[in-house]
Structure 1
């Protein structure tokens, strides 16, 4: 009997121990599953350009990488063609957290974060190599980080090529711009630049430019090859002069409200996905730019090369001087990137 009691006691201890181990394992597994699962989000990314445009393609690549790397937990839906509004209105919505992500040009972004105004200064970058050396350096990253003060988080830069002027009348030299009404993005620097060139600046949403050119409300506008082509502006303004006055990049950004909800691990995934989408977007840009130029020439657009940019640079020197003190640190970094 005594031996039987000992056996029962031993079995009881064994069962209790097994349950304790099992209980601990279950708790650990539960925490692990929860950590692995993470929070789920479905976010919107606002895009001004059409579905096949290089920035939209970059947006989609970014969304795809995020979806893959979070096993579908974070889904980003891209809304192209200005479905969620024009850039300025969208930036305001991103600040409020009503829209989670967007891709915008750095020029209108300067109205919300003055640091970005430096990227709109005319003729400060010699070429694409110079631009990207700056953007991907310490100063360029510092510029992205400064967006947090404006309730946004800068994720990456996208390519936007070089901007040049196009008009309803022939453009053969800088003198042909004088007196023209030229559409510009909402930016004080852009307006100062146009005034320095002897023209009249007309800020206007991108979606209104075609009809404004068509009806003569404006005489000219300015943009890169892909935008000039995809917007069909060339159909009503067939003269394009390659002065390449600005190399203003695009910026992929997220609302600070959405960013602050993320775990540290998810923040790393989002940021890295954005950076990894840049090479894809730049490659898409280079191809689209070549195709756009070829199609514009085939459509009978008169494209004039600027062989000597010095008269243009001299004309806007007052603009650079006006903002030199304000952007001294960034302008010094841009000069350094030239070396």
Structure 2
């Protein structure tokens, strides 16, 4: 099973009046300096460049803004505008996300997992949008492993 993440932006809090600078505050569990953190910083620089400095991305890495449920609560009250969430975090918003990735040994291959995600994504993303979130992209951080003592 692949641990999947996505970036969400809470739409209502992000888009400013025209000509006004905006600072998008994004939280992630990815550690500072990790490949995920570096890609987010690159994305932020691209946004700044493309907007001629009108859009700034401030990243709160390594869980400093709290766990995923806390981050979602902070998005709802406007303390944060965006988050990089795992499917566990997404399931706090749309419970059906858990069914896609949380069943051990559900997929026999990456290709099968990709096929299922491709087919289910439109419906899941629509459910996020109905709750006021904008989906930016999927990402993967590797296979989840289960361990037991006996």
- With normalisation by structure 2, the TM-score equals 0.75
- Residue correspondences, number: 132
Structure number with greater CO (CA < 8 Å, separation at least 6) is 2
Larger Rg: 1
1:87 aligns with 2:56: no
Whether contact under 8 Å (1:145, 1:153) holds in the other structure is: no
1:68 aligns with 2:49: yes
Structure 2 unpaired stretches of 5+: 1-17
Query: Where is the helix percentage greater, Structure 1 or Structure 2?
Result: 1
Q: CA RMSD in A?
A: 2.1
1:125 aligns with 2:107: yes
What do the CA deviations read for 1:154-184 (whole angstroms, capped 9, x no partner)? Answer: 21111121100246x5xxxxxx2xxxxxxxx
User: Equivalents in 1 of 2:111, 2:20: separation in Å?
Assistant: 40
Report the counterpart of residue 290 of structure 1 in structure 2. none
Query: Where is the strand percentage greater, Structure 1 or Structure 2?
Result: 2
Whether contact under 8 Å (1:94, 1:152) holds in the other structure is: no
User: Which of structure 1's runs of 4+ aligned residues deviate more than 3 A?
Assistant: none
What do the CA deviations read for 1:60-106 (whole angstroms, capped 9, x no partner)? Answer: 23212211211211000111111111111001111232200111111
Structure 1 unpaired stretches of 5+: 1-36, 170-175, 177-339
Match of 2:21 among 32, 40, 59: 40
- With normalisation by structure 1, the TM-score equals 0.36
Whether contact under 8 Å (2:68, 2:85) holds in the other structure is: yes
User: Shift of the alpha carbon at 1:48?
Assistant: 1.3
Whether contact under 8 Å (2:107, 2:113) holds in the other structure is: yes
User: Equivalents in 2 of 1:95, 1:130: separation in Å?
Assistant: 34
